[in-house]
C-alpha cells in the first residue's frame, strides 16, 4: 500500500506499543532460554549458556520487529506467535 494512502495513526500509541513489544519480546527470549536449557544433549549449564547467547541476540531483533511492523500490528502478532511456539516447545520438552 502506498504510504500516502495509509490511514493516520495517532502518535500517542507509540510508547504503549513499544512497552508491549518489549514485554512480549522479553517473554519470548526468556522462553527460549528455558526451552534450550531443557534440551536433551548438552549438560544443563552449557545448554543454559547456549540459550542465553541465542536469546540475548534475539531480544533486540524481536523488539525492533514487534514495534516496527505496525501495519495491523503484524510485528506484535509475529512476536506473540514466536512466544506461543516457544511455549509449546517448552510444554513438549518438560
Partner 1 sequence: MRETLRTRMGWLHAWTGFVGGLVMVCVFVTGSLSVFDTEITRWMQPEVRVAPGTPLTPAALDVAARMIHEGETHGIPAFLALPSPRSPTLKVLHYDGREFTGPQLDPQTGVIIPARQTAGGEFFFRFHYTLCMQGPAGILAVDIPAIGLLVAIGSGLVIHIRALLPDIVLLRLSATRLRAWLDAHLLTGVLFLPFMVMITYTGVLVHVDRLLPAIPVTSLWSQGRPVSRSTAIRPPHVAPSPVFQPLPPLAPLLAAARAPLGGREAGFILFSPDHLSIFASDASGPFLTRDHADFHLPDGALLATAATSGSIARSVQLLHGLHYARFAATGLRWLYLVSGLCATAVIASGLVLFGMKRRRDRGHTVAFRIGEGLTMTTLVGLPASLCALLWASRLLPATLPGRDGTEITVFFTVWGLCALHALTCAVTGRGLRAWRTQLAMSAVLAGGLLPLDGLTAPAALHAAPAIHAAVDGMGLGAASLALYVLSHLRDRAA
Q: Which is nearer to partner 1, 53 or 85 (CB)?
A: 53
Read off the C-alpha cell for 32: 527460549
Q: Is 47 in the site for partner 1 (CB under 8 A)?
A: yes
Q: Which of 57, 74, 84, 85 binds partner 1 (CB under 8 A)?
A: 57
- 51 within 8 A of 35, measured Cβ to Cβ: yes
Give the C-alpha distances (Å, rounded to integers) separating 5 from 1, 2, 13, 21, 68.
Answer: 7, 5, 20, 26, 19
Q: Is 80 in the site for partner 1 (CB under 8 A)?
A: no
Q: Which is nearer to partner 1, 45 or 85 (CB)?
A: 45
Amino acid at each position: 500500500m502506498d504510504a500516502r494512502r495509509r490511514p493516520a495513526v495517532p502518535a500517542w500509541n507509540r510508547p504503549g506499543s513499544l512497552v508491549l513489544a518489549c514485554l512480549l519480546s522479553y517473554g519470548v527470549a526468556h522462553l527460549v532460554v528455558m526451552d534450550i536449557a531443557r534440551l536433551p544433549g548438552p549438560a544443563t549449564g552449557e545448554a543454559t549458556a547456549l540459550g542465553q547467547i541465542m536469546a540475548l541476540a534475539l531480544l533486540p531483533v524481536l523488539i525492533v520487529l514487534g514495534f516496527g511492523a505496525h501495519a495491523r500490528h503484524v510485528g506484535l502478532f509475529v512476536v506473540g506467535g514466536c512466544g506461543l511456539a516457544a511455549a509449546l516447545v517448552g510444554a513438549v520438552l518438560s
